[in-house]
Amino acid sequence: MQPKKSFIIGSRPVVKLTAHDRADLNDPAVEMWLPVASDVAVGVGQGDGNVSLHQIVDERPVRQLNTAIANQSGTIAAASAALVKSIANAR
């Protein structure tokens, strides 16, 4: 992940990522993500059962996950006050 991009945590931190008309967790296109540190998020889905690691080089997925967490949470926190402000203002 880029050094200036970090995940937030929220009061409802698990985010379900779905396609428009697909929400069933048995669907391989549906994933659940949970930030467990400012630079690590754990995802689960229907994969092949193996562990895979993905390094994020584009900041957009980090921002999208942060925004989704903020939108569904009453309280958010991050290592950076500037990040909390930025995400809170985007809500």
26 belongs to a structural domain:
yes
Please state the domain count of the chain: 1
67 belongs to a structural domain:
yes
CA distance 60 to 50: 25
CA distance 87 to 66: 7
Render pLDDT for 44-75 as a digit per residue (tens, 0 to 9). Answer: 876 677 777 878 778 898 999 999 999 999 99
2 belongs to a structural domain:
no
CA distance 66 to 25: 21
1 belongs to a structural domain:
no
Domain membership of residue 59 as a residue range: 9-90
57 belongs to a structural domain:
yes
Render pLDDT for 2-36 as a digit per residue (tens, 0 to 9). Answer: 556 899 999 999 999 888 888 888 888 888 999 99
